[in-house]
Structure 1
């Protein structure tokens, strides 16, 4: 997967999850020799009462100071977070247009700034123009990178991202494929169940061949293709218990036209036991307010 030259952007709200996100964003920026940008969303400032705007600015300044302390501990004492007007989802979606990755915690402060899991991470998973990493405690630090594959363009982009992560982290990559079964296709017009079964078997072989071809181009990564029965979301979530990272495409083969976040990605985002990367096609951008 092609990388942009943009910074690693992390959303900060002083929550414990934001600490984890900032640590991982810092490590990622160091590993890839990229700038790190810390963003604090001020919410709908200017649309509220004067008292609420002053309180919001005061809270933003407080969070800014807390971020600077963490940054100093990480060896970045000169990095100043940016206070940006707008809700976290809209601010980080704009940032994603020029970022190499956006990193957020799986949960955060609310209600003014919004909880990251549900409102913000869900919206970013739909609209981010770069890889989105949703960080949570759990998983295994040196565990494999698990990636869901189904033959769709999104899942193949996810596979490329997972292989790059596996190489950078020096851990194996576990490509998990859950074949679709006949019962869901019995009403496919113009085909008999026997023909459908053949079609599905041919598709399974095609997916595995495509995945094997991508893996062959990355001999530096220890990787395997694993097939499992059942629900893709359930199997990927289960595999996340022993993974350092799970990678999913924003949409898979089951996605309906116009559906920006697939059901598997949505379920994994909610239930994964480790950080999740959602790989989404690019979008576009806008302005900010420096932190004093």
Structure 2
């Protein structure tokens, strides 16, 4: 876990202010500072930034951006009085600015809407982009207000998911809560007969397959359990679709942690279908953790 600050992107929306409060708590838990970042797009399109000759002297886009950041900083200090907070206005569009600030950060936090996204979208483009490209874990604040319960981890045993496992254990340890590690599996029995060109049937012994999946989940967790003996782990093996199982289980979790792309993902996709599904539909905040060694 890096000692860099927690970074939160703000744009004045209600969603981004909710993200500020969550980011402030994350900074306190980690014992690091909080950096409030506003991407100031207007200089790039050559729009006048100062007050209008016909308007108040404290008007204009630059003054509005400064007030927005000052309000967010104050909101963070109110939420967590003991943390160190600073604000920053960076010229550029939100996706590029926050991706750049993710370098060296402990965590980037964004709301599920806002930051330049269209309000009709269920999830803002910034959240999806950062989850795929961020250089540190990205926490998207969504779902029910003030969620409680354990940390929920989607574990598939793939190398791409190992970083997410470590992050989930660290989060459970920081909060002093249990960790629920959910692993899904399916058995598929092909047709008993088929015509020319049909795939050969695949017939599995269901008990053997379940035992193998239990072994995969246990091996993915064992090393991290030794590093975090204070964390109580509940392994949950579910037969069914991963997306549906994680979304349903998120209703009782305070945070859902997933890898950016795991077993069965296409190597050309930076954000897997399971990650995208939970970002759109989970009932609690979602942390997407990329493997540091993943290709870019």
TM-score for both structures, normalised by structure 1: 0.83
Report what 2:69 is aligned to.
64
Pair 1:156–1:199, CA change in 2 (3 A): farther
Report what 1:28 is aligned to.
26
CA contact (8 A) 1:42 1:113 kept: no
Report what 2:243 is aligned to.
233
Q: Distance in 1 between matches of 2:235 and 2:86?
A: 43
Match of 2:284 among 258, 268, 274: 274
Deviation track 1:51-94 (CA, whole Å, cap 9, x = no partner) reads: 47875434312312322331442437984410011111111111
Match of 1:249 among 259, 262, 281: 259
CA contact (8 A) 2:151 2:255 kept: yes
Pair 1:282–1:212, CA change in 2 (3 A): closer
CA contact (8 A) 1:20 1:136 kept: no
Deviation track 1:248-291 (CA, whole Å, cap 9, x = no partner) reads: 000010111121000000000100111000001349xxxxxxxx
Q: Distance in 2 between matches of 1:273 and 1:190?
A: 39
Please state whether the residue corresponding to 2:261 is helix, strand or coil: coil
Please state whether the residue corresponding to 1:34 is helix, strand or coil: coil
CA RMSD of aligned residues (A): 3.2
Aligned length: 279
Matched, 1:133 2:142: no
TM-score for both structures, normalised by structure 2: 0.82
CA contact (8 A) 2:37 2:69 kept: no
Match of 1:156 among 153, 162, 169: 162
Q: Distance in 2 between matches of 1:23 and 1:129?
A: 22
Q: Distance in 2 between matches of 1:65 and 1:116?
A: 28
Unmatched segments (≥5 aa) in structure 1: 284-292
Pair 1:230–1:18, CA change in 2 (3 A): same
CA contact (8 A) 2:28 2:83 kept: no
Compare 269-278 and 3-12 and name the one that shifted more: 3-12
Q: Distance in 2 between matches of 1:185 and 1:165?
A: 45
Matched, 1:4 2:33: no
Shift of 1:115: 7.4
The one of the two structures with greater contact order (alpha-carbon pairs below 8 A, sep at least 6) is: 1
Please state whether the residue corresponding to 1:156 is helix, strand or coil: helix
CA contact (8 A) 2:15 2:114 kept: yes
Pair 1:238–1:114, CA change in 2 (3 A): closer
Report what 2:54 is aligned to.
none
